[in-house]
Amino acid sequence: MSLEVKIPAVGESVTSGVISAWLKNDGDAVTKGDALLTLETDKVSTEITADAAGTLRIKAQAGAEVKIGEVVATIEAGAGGAPSSGPAKAAAEKTAEPKPVEVKSSETKPAKKAAKSEVAPVPASAPVAETPAVAVASANESLAVISENAVATESGRVTRKKLSPLRRKIAAQLVMAQHTAAILTTFNEADMSGVMALRKAMGEDFQKQHGIKLGFMSFFIKAVVAALKAVPQVNVRVEGDELVQNHFYDIGVAVGTERGLMVPVVRDAHRKSFAELERDLAGFAAKAREGKIGLDDLSGGVFTISNGGIYGSLLSTPILNPPQSGILGMHKIQERPVVVNGAIIARPMMYLAMSYDHRVVDGREAVTFLIRVKEAIEQPSRLLLEV
């Protein structure tokens, strides 16, 4: 008796995905709940688990594009979830397809190293959505996926491979945003001295009390919420020929990953303390490392914050995240000469950029919004007193 392993529905609009890696080998004994494969869709990566114990028989190889409901493997009952041994193991090895073995030549080592780098965990300081590292036994399969999807020319000057479902979705979204919205960007700069001084003075006590570090992003989330309350015209979206006014404050935080752009959403940010916001952000980082960011984490959002400063960006014009009407771009903190009370002094400055949909947000409203963000960052006591 065998149980079919089918690709489950992972979202209303998701119809297919790519098997990015098998976490078990053909012929392996598996137990109920074991992670079998990682499926990459145009929205998220998700792990497919075993619904029963038995011996795994793979039908669709890593790198294949599969549809929702498609059978990609079977689990033959009787293995009991224990590793095969004796005659059973010999029979499994005899019937299983030949698998590549570890080659110790110097020619394949760089390739294997590159394969591992595709799935390596990421630091918590830059949360991303990426699949977890696969077992060593799957390294050769990962290498096979790379060699199958990437086709080098005879000269070796270029490598050609298919876009991932997520990358195709990102491309379509960005082009759609440019074609459907009248995007305009306004700029300003913020003196980060106040926030940096507060973090230096209270950071250690904050961490002792709440068990988490106080970062910059929680200040900007708070500042954006305050600005949205002050300028509600920015908290809108266009649906057909209707303008929808949002009365909630779910803030997306855009992060760049090796797989592409992800925007996890902090829910009800206006009701959360700095500690709660930092825990949410840390939670997204943990989910990213474990490859567990789901559609619920990415859906919704009324406004997005994008921090290009962590990569060293000094200035940029962020693109809207449809159907939202505004996005704030943070940038690198850099000491620059500024005039304070008639004297030229060096201050840690950050350029801020706000892109907005000019169809529904006027320039006056966008500039006012960005100034409110600037004021809140330069005087963080405003955020604490909500003024």
For 16-65, how does the pLDDT look when each residue is reduced to its tens digit (9 = 90+)? 888 888 999 999 999 999 999 988 876 677 888 999 999 999 999 988 88
**What residues does CATH 3.30.559.10 cover in the chain?**
167-385
Q: Which one is catalytic: 34, 250, 270, 358?
A: 358
CB 378 within 8 Å of CB 338: no
CA 9 to chain centre: 20
* pLDDT tens profile 343-361: 999 999 999 999 999 999 9
pLDDT number for residue 1: 77
Structure tokens at 10: 């992972």
Beta bridge partners of 49: 35
Return the beta strands (E) in the chain as ranges: 2-6, 16-22, 29-30, 35-40, 45-49, 54-58, 65-67, 71-76, 150-152, 159-161, 183-191, 236-239, 242-245, 251-256, 261-262, 265-266, 303-307, 326-330, 333-340, 343-357
CATH homologous superfamily of domain 167-385?
Answer: Chloramphenicol acetyltransferase-like domain (3.30.559.10)
**What residues does CATH 2.40.50.100 cover in the chain?**
2-162
Q: How far apart are CA 373 and CA 188, in angstroms?
A: 10
pLDDT number for residue 269: 97
46, 61, 174, 251, 298 from 287: Cα distances, Å: 11, 26, 25, 18, 12
**Residue 150 in this model has a pLDDT that exceeds 70:** no
* pLDDT tens profile 55-112: 999 999 988 888 889 999 999 986 544 444 433 344 344 444 444 444 444 444 444 4
Q: Which one is catalytic: 205, 268, 296, 362?
A: 362
pLDDT number for residue 120: 38
Q: How far apart are CA 52 and CA 45, in angstroms?
A: 22
Indicate if 362 belongs to the active site.
yes
Structure tokens at 229: 């309350």
Banded pLDDT at 148 (limits 50, 70, 90): very low
List CB contacts of 382: < 8 A, sequence separation 6 or more: 226, 375, 376
Beta bridge partners of 99: none
90-124 burial string, b = 16+ CB within 10 Å, else e?
eebeeebeeeeeeeeeeeeeeebeebeebbeebee
Which fold does the domain 2-162 belong to in CATH?
A: OB fold (Dihydrolipoamide Acetyltransferase, E2P) (2.40.50)
